[in-house]
Homo-oligomer: A and B are copies of this chain.
Amino acid sequence: MTPEKIHSIIEGLLYLTGEEGLLLDQIRKVLPECSVQEIHNVIGRMKSEWNADERHGLMVTDIPGGYRLTTKPSLAPYAEKFAAIPKSSPLSQASLETVAIIAYKQPVSRITIDEIRGVKSERALQTLMVKGLIKEVGRAEGAGRAILYGVTPVFLDYFGLHSLDDMPPLADAAKEPNRQLDAYDLFYDQYKETIKNL
């Protein structure tokens, strides 16, 4: 299949899936004869061409495991009025801090989060659960068997991250290099797990 044809099919599928996004796996099922490399090349070119061409109002963004067609940021003032899916209000500072702690420290219990923040995080956790940004990933061992939380693919999507690897390292990580590094290594595995379970 020619790259032109692949281009047109991916463009069409990106349009059809809209907000939901198109997963690489799905492209491969529709185009079983194309290699991942071919698909990557086509999408790479699509991205850079559309970005560079100011006549294009659309752009391709990364989502966990795939791609999504969105309007360019410069179109936001016009797009807002037309979007079928209204943007929800930004997360509160409490929710943001809580989800940051979960992303870097998962799996993590409410008590740990409360300790780090120095205040109760129950309501923030509830909001994050409802928004689907976090989920229960297990129970702590020992008495109480506290619920452990982790982030979901929705979290990655919400913050425009392709994977947890895209998250910047914690600023003071140098203070306790070993502990942080381990924790960081765990993310990726963990998140892979999380994606599977979703």
Copies of this protein in the assembly total: 2
Q: Are the C-beta atoms of A58 and B12 separated by less than 8 Å? A: yes
Supposing A18-B18, A89-B198, A198-B89 touch, asked if A82 and B8 sit within 8 A by C-beta, the answer is no
Contact residues in B for A71 (Cβ distance below 8 Å): 12, 15-16
> C-beta contact mask, A40-58 vs B, less than 8 Å → 1, else 0?
0000000000000011111
- Interface residue? A11 (CB, 8 A): yes
- The answer to whether A79 has its CB under 8 Å from any CB of chain B is yes
User: A7 touching B55 by the CB < 8 A rule?
Assistant: yes
Chain A residues within CB distance 8 Å of chain B: 4-5, 7-13, 15-18, 22, 26, 29-31, 54-58, 69, 71-72, 74-75, 78-79, 81-85, 88-89, 93, 132, 198
In the complex, which residues of chain B have a beta carbon less than 8 angstroms from the beta carbon of A79? Answer: 12-13, 16
Q: Which of B13, B56, B82 contacts A16 (CB 8 A)?
A: B82
CB-CB under 8 A from A198, the residues of chain B are 88-89
What is the CA–CA distance of A198 and B93 in the complex, to the nearest angstrom? Answer: 12
**Closest chain B residue, CB of each to CB of A15:** B58
Contacts A4-B55, A13-B78, A30-B78 known; list 5 others, CB within 8 Å: A7-B55, A9-B78, A12-B72, A16-B71, A30-B82
User: Which residue of chain B is the closest to A26 with respect to CB atoms?
Assistant: B85
| Contact across chains for B81 and A29 when beta carbons are under 8 A apart | yes
Question: In the assembly, what is the distance between CA of A72 and CA of B11, in Å?
Answer: 10
A5 and B56 CA atoms in complex are apart in Å by 8
A8-B72, A12-B75, A71-B12 as given contacts; A17 in contact with B57, CB under 8 Å: no
A33 nearest CB across to chain B (Å)? 12
Which one of B4, B22, B29, B93 contacts A54 once the chains associate, using CB atoms below 8 Å? B4
A82 to B9, CA, bound (A): 11
Q: How far is the CB of A32 from chain B (nearest CB, A)?
A: 9
